[in-house]
């Protein structure tokens, strides 16, 4: 947090997220984020709150199922590395 935002309130769930999105889309001059005083620090407070709410929303997510492994690469028909190149890479 940047120190200009007010302390974060307890999570309000989906309503809080939607209010933050609405404030971001309309702009903080037209719609002040919930719990933030209007003024020059409102955009920074909006970003701080959106970051904190994103962490809250993702905290309980479980990873999705693993994808199938890719097929093995085909055999490379090119000749092996020349000796001079092997020495340089060595």
Structure-token pair, residue 53:
């709410």
> Shortest CA distance to 47 belongs to which of 36, 63, 60?
36
Counting as low any pLDDT under 50, the low residues of the chain are: 1, 3-8
| Terminal C-alpha separation, the chain | 48
Q: How many CA atoms lie within 13 A of 63 on its CB side?
A: 3
What is the per-residue pLDDT for 12? Answer: 55
Cα torsion 5, 18, 23, 32: sign: negative
What is the per-residue pLDDT for 6? Answer: 45
Q: How many CA atoms lie within 13 A of 27 on its CB side?
A: 3
Residue 6 · residue 35 · CB < 8 Å: yes
């Amino acid at each position: 947090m940047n120190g200009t935002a007010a302390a974060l309130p307890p999570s309000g769930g989906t309503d809080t997220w939607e209010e933050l999105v609405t404030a971001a889309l309309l702009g903080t001059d037209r719609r002040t984020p919930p719990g933030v005083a209007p003024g020059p620090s409102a955009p920074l407070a909006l970003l701080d709150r959106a970051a904190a709410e994103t962490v809250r929303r993702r905290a309980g997510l479980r990873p999705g199922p693993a994808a199938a492994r890719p097929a093995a690469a085909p055999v490379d028909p090119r000749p092996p590395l020349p000796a001079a190149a092997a020495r340089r890479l060595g």
